[in-house]
Amino acid sequence: MVLKKGQTTLFIILGIIIVILISLIFYFRTAFISPPKIEELQKETDCPERVVTDCIARISPDYIILLGKQGGYLNTPPDTFRLFNGSRVSFLCFNIPGREECMNRMLTKEQMEKELENALDFALQSCINVQQCRRFGQQYSINTPKKLKSDVNIGKEKVLVKVSYPVQLVSKTGAQLTIQDFSASLDYPLGNLYDIAVNEIINTEAEFGNFEQLLYMISHKGKTIIDLKKPYPDKLYVLKAVDNPFKFQFFVQGEPG
């Protein structure tokens, strides 16, 4: 088949147009939708940080409150607690037969932190979903680890929860950015109530067999409310700060008479 001169010219023009269109496509792709560099990835960290931090702030309080209700323990082995108003309230001082004094169970702040860490390692895993940060046309992927590691620090007025959960943003050009640590500071005076419970009440009960909670509240200007209940044969101490509804409660085991 022999092409006429006009047809040849037409094919040449079409070829030129196709080349121009392809060039324009590559230009706009490079100029406007090229994979982001490290500086641009840094602008995309807000969403993953918000998702993880919100999860920590939403899930952690349930376990801190439960720990307070149960006298510093999330896991309560048999014979170490008494049911009260639906809660497994731990004995922090065990009965010594024939004596008013009790045996200190020796709860430590480190034990409480470890209990919270073990619970949060599992609970936060099902809460965090940074893949929701993906957008249509996004030029990078989001990689997350299979496990996370929480670290809890119980302060006097706040509980600080830190989570190691490396979230990696990877562009198609190979640029990478990793967000490693997340944290939330929660307003629970667990450390302060623990100090009063263990250093004041339990130590006094273990040494003398009696603690004057009214005298303590007066001498400390009522900053902490200590409610003493006596469901036979035990003593139940319920502690709370005057400006915070969080409670820490525990039993001192008594001897049936």
To the nearest whole percent, how much of the chain has pLDDT over 70? 84
Q: What is the pLDDT of residues 196-208, one digit of tens each?
A: 999 999 999 999 9
Which two tokens mark 133?
């940060």
103-107, 127-131, 183-187: lowest mean pLDDT where?
127-131
Return the higher-pLDDT residue of 181 and 43.
181
Return the higher-pLDDT residue of 26 and 238.
238
Average pLDDT for residues 56-68, to the nearest whole number? 98
CA gap 163, 184 in Å, rounded:
9
Q: What is the pLDDT of residues 141-153, one digit of tens each?
A: 888 898 999 999 9
Cβ neighbors of 254 (< 8 A, separation 6 or more) are: 95, 232, 233, 234, 235
Which two tokens mark 73?
């323990």
Q: Which of 54, 70, 99 is nearest to 254 (CA)?
A: 99
Neighbours of 10 (CB within 10 A): 12
Peptide bond before 233: cis, by omega within 30 degrees of 0? yes
| Residue 35 pLDDT > 70 | no
pLDDT attached to residue 132: 85
Helix (H) or strand (E) holding 240: strand 235-241
